[in-house]
Amino acid sequence: MNIRLPKRYFYRDRGQNGYAYVSHNKLFIKGYVNFENLMYNLTYTLYGYRYCLYCNNELNNKTRTLDHMYPRTWGGISIPNNLIPCCKACNQKKKDMTESQFEVWNSKITPNQKDAFYQACINENAWLMDNGIFVVDDNWVSKYNVTKILKYFSFKGLKESRIKEIEEYFNLHKQYPELLIVSGNNWIFKGKYILEHAKRHKITFVTAVVLSNVIVIKDSP
């Protein structure tokens, strides 16, 4: 999939030596850049800082936040396609509903109607996750062959307790609790523990989001 990008863009991670820029509809990343901070900055660059895109109220430093339209709880990831500037009030009301569910929730009139609909949404989303289905846009995900990258990466300092949690979840749901996020040239942004589990158990294909128009500029050997 391609993430949304502005036509012109340059970003330097504060306190780090890495930077990112847009050229020919691709995002290039050089050096260390915090991935989520970069995605947040891209989102604000695309949509602005001034208005909540749910209620259209003006935003300020105290009320401004970003919402994951597909919540993290159900597999939502931090990319401009899934982030939206909004006020804290809307973010708190939305909770773990998706953007489309929240739109329907807003149309309900009585508190009882809102409560019943919210619970139905949460039950549906939880059922999908329990059955190994991420609650995100189907066009974002694909089965990714991790052998492309396992031979290049050596994971050190990983916590065995976290690996055990991953294994228990995988054994129960036949799926990982989160999505692997990979650049268009096979650089891992998120999912080291998933890769470690896949390596240990010789799992070849993992559900992932491949950001085709994001390229990490690697240092020459």
Q: Which long-range contacts (C-beta less than 8 Å, at least 24 apart) are formed by 20-28?
A: 25/213, 26/184, 26/213, 26/214, 26/215, 27/3, 27/213, 27/214, 27/215, 28/215, 28/216, 28/217
pLDDT at 14: 76
Q: What average pLDDT does range 125-139 have in this prediction?
A: 96
Has residue 195 got a pLDDT over 80?
yes
> What DSSP line would sit under 67-103, residue for residue?
EESS-GGGT---SGGGEEEEEHHHHHHHTT--HHHHH
What pLDDT is attached to residue 136? 97
Residue 213 confidence (pLDDT): 98
CATH label, 138-216, candidates 2.60.60, 3.90.1530, 1.10.357, 3.90.1200: 3.90.1530
Q: Which amino acid is at 98?
A: T
How many Å from the N-terminal Cα to the C-terminal Cα in the chain? 29
- Burial of 177 from C-beta contacts in 10 A (0-12 / 13-18 / 19+): middle
Q: Determine the Cα–Cα distance for residues 128 and 50; give it in Å rounded to an integer.
A: 35
Q: Cα-flanking dihedrals φ and ψ of residue 161, to 5°?
A: -65, -40
Whole-model pTM: value is: 0.93
Q: Per residue in 134-164, pLDDT tens? A: 999 999 999 999 987 887 777 788 999 999 9
Mean pLDDT of 98-122: 97
pLDDT of residue 151: 73
User: What residues contact residue 211 under an 8 Å CB cut-off, 6+ apart?
Assistant: 1, 2, 3, 79, 181, 182, 183, 184, 189
Can you tell me whether residue 182 is helix, strand or coil? strand
pLDDT value of position 155: 75
Q: What is the mean pLDDT of the chain?
A: 94
In this predicted structure, which of 74-78, 91-95, 96-100, 144-148 has the lowest mean pLDDT? 144-148
Helix locations, the chain, DSSP H: 35-47, 88-94, 99-107, 111-130, 147-150, 160-173, 192-200
Buried b (16+ CB within 10 A) or exposed e, 15-28: eeebbbebeeebbb
Tell me the domain boundaries of the chain: 10-130, 138-216
Q: How does residue 177 score in pLDDT terms, banded at 50, 70 and 90? A: very high
Give yes or no for residue 16 having a pLDDT over 80.
Answer: no
Q: What is the pLDDT of residues 27-59, one digit of tens each?
A: 999 998 999 999 999 999 999 999 999 999 999
Q: Is the pLDDT of residue 10 over 80?
A: yes
